[in-house]
Amino acid sequence: MSALLNPPQREAIRYLDGPLLVLAGAGSGKTRVITQKIAYLIQECGFSPSNIAAITFTNKAAKEMQERVGQLLKDKPSGLTISTFHSLGVRILREEAKVLGYKPRFSIFDSTDCYGIISDLSGSADKATIRRLQTLISNWKNALVSPDVALKNVENETEKLAALAYASYSATLKAYQAVDFDDLISLPVELFDKHPEVLDKWQNRLRYLLVDEYQDTNACQYRLLKQLAGPRAAFTAVGDDDQAIYGWRGADIENLRGLPRDYPKLKVIKLEQNYRSTVRILKAANAVIAHNEKLFEKTLWSDLGHGDPITVTACRDGEREAEHVVMKLLAHKFEHKTQFSDYAILYRGNFQARVIEQFLRDQRVPYSLSGGQSFFDKSEIKDICAYLRLLANSDDDPAFIRAITTPRRGVGGATLEALGTYAGERHISLFAAAFEEGFAQRVQPRQLQPLLEFCEFINRLEYRALREPAGQVMDDLLTAIGYESWLNEGDDARAALSRWENVLELKRWLTDKGEADEKNLVDLTQTIALINMLDKRDDGTRPDAVQLSTLHASKGLEYPHVFLIGVEEGVLPHRECIENDTVEEERRLMYVGITRAQRSLHISYSEKRKQGKDVITCEPSRFIAEMGKEDIRFSGGKSDAPPDKASGAARLAAMKAMLAGKSA
């Protein structure tokens, strides 16, 4: 066992006398405890690796654990389970599929597949409604609420519609021999409830459980863990009630509160020494979180020195804030001879990233975006790119399905099903199958006509795409499919406008790129595919770039220097959380943001901010006052001169000249 472990860590690793809860504060070395305990169980206690399961929430966390355990153990442990909840669920269902009436090779449907089924079952074409129904069904599954119980407890028409669709939705999935993401947990729970002999088999197989981020479990996950632990209750749960920030997606902090009730012999060990942040940063974090009701008392401490004072800057508006952050980051980087990758800019909502991105691009600062969507991952961009992919390759079946159904071209599900069956028999693409006489004999003329019209439209467009300027072809494509009208029909005005602006941005990019590189639309489609692949590349290294991230996505990560922006009432805490009296979760989110910082923390807020066409007055977040004043330097505010783009540009130019002079 490592000599670098502190006494509470060492105690947590060695404790095997019953159920254990490790309250692991931010940066307290929880992953080290889990991985060292796995090694201890195998090397010192004689556990077989196949009898141990470590369960996490993300593939990244599971991979990190596997690597660390591999370094601790000389021989690669055979049969050791280190996986996400959902991966474990898949494993159970694959092995026990027959008992539940499934084939071992059942399909797992993604949210897009499920969206289509719910749309058909509900008879609704309204996207917002379908997404709401999808969310309600998912929440019911995660709370272990059956369709019958859901229907009995509906409180409005939307819930009634969802409850009616729920039963049919489950039956449809079963008929397709498919499951959705939520089923990967709920079906094993159902299996273990109905088949005690199967539960007994898995309890004997997985004799010790280690669970990471326990505070993020939902009702269904809690039930699954309780089933697997059984009366033996041989488990170590690692969590932190101060970092419970996923209530909006079903996580239930009550699972932590309920552990001492469900397991009276529960041992609690606190990890309070922080190995990440300076004293000043931790002092601010402790001061903020102290305003929440505590499940378990703990106070983080550090021996890494006091560190730099925290800065809090009031800015005139969002643009001025973005300018301030970028200027300060560049000056700090020069002064401290750091890398761009040492910096993170964190925010409550994705909308806050746009103006920051603009200033970073203007100053040629490399950045990486997480916690949000890449531009090419947005659904509206994928919709249009489906048409472009089909122009480049008519054998692209996923692109064919997306294009012909978005917006719908008068081709129904029955026609597409018949087309898919025929194409499968002939081993040809859907596009090619549409033109064959054999297929024409299987459907009615009224079914065939809109299908052929669509295919001929694609052929005409392909001919033009190879010969005419990209911008012109894009204009005609968007007009022909009526995409803007379709967005307006399915979304509220603000969302539709935002999505349409993204489509126009794509068109502008293709037009400019086509002119600059002298490429046609088909050539440019290949460029888009390459950008997408590069975007998704993950070689395990962090590029030298400033990290832009939502606070939710930053959990579990750390950075030497953190800029936390938009810390205003209505943003952080979010307006809806204020209205719904759920500010405590927002305070935990602020706590997570503060504790991402290792050496310096810079907080900013705007006094005014654009909201649509309006400009609203903003108040600094209550969380800033809760941090105290002792270790904080305040600046900016109403005394600042009004924003001036010319003077802002001049300041940046002057700073760059200074930096260039010093480096010469």
Residue 497 to residue 500: CA distance in whole angstroms: 5
Amino acid at 483: Y
Strand ordering across the sheet containing 310-315: 367-370, 546-550, 343-347, 559-564, 597-606, 310-315, 632-636
The residue from 35, 215, 243, 406 that is catalytic is 243
386/557 Cα distance (integer angstroms):
35
Give CA angle at 482 (478, 483), nearest 5°: 70
| Structure letter (DSSP) for residue 560 | E
Rounded distance between C-alpha atoms, residue 369 and residue 549, angstroms: 6
Measuring CA to CA, how many Å separate 493 from each of 11, 481, 486, 553?
Answer: 57, 19, 12, 28
Q: How far apart are CA 555 and CA 558, in angstroms?
A: 8
- Residue 243 is a catalytic residue: yes
Q: Which of the 8 DSSP states describes residue 571?
A: B
Catalytic annotation present for 129: no
Catalytic residue list contains 190: no
> E-strand spans in 182-278?
208-211, 235-239, 267-271
| SS3 state at 314 | strand
Residue written as tokens 């009616």? 164
Of 9, 30, 37, 599, catalytic = 30
Among residues 141, 276, 298, 596, which one is catalytic? 596
Contact 333, 365 (CB under 8 A): no
Q: Where are the beta strands (DSSP E) in 466-519?
A: none
From 96, 180, 182, 213, active-site residue? 213
Nearest to 367 by CA among 412, 409, 335, 325: 325
212: how many CB neighbours lie within 10 A of its CB?
26
Report the C-alpha gap between 268 and 239 in whole angstroms.
11
31 given a catalytic annotation? yes
Terminal alpha carbon distance of the chain:
51
List CB contacts of 530: < 8 A, sequence separation 6 or more.
none
Here the tokens at position 321 are 């804030």
Separation between Cα atoms, residue 183 and residue 174, nearest integer Å: 11
Question: Is 213 an active-site residue?
Answer: yes
CA distances from 202 to 154, 209, 230, 290, 343 (A): 36, 12, 10, 41, 45
- Tell me if the bond preceding 104 is cis, omega within 30° of 0: no
Catalytic member of 10, 11, 14, 31: 31
Report the distance separating Cα 291 and Cα 296, nearest Å.
13
List 96, 183, 212, 380, catalytic entry: 212
- Distance, CA of 518 to CA of 659 (rounded, Å): 38
Tokens of 69: 């355990």
Active site members: 30-31, 212-213, 243, 596
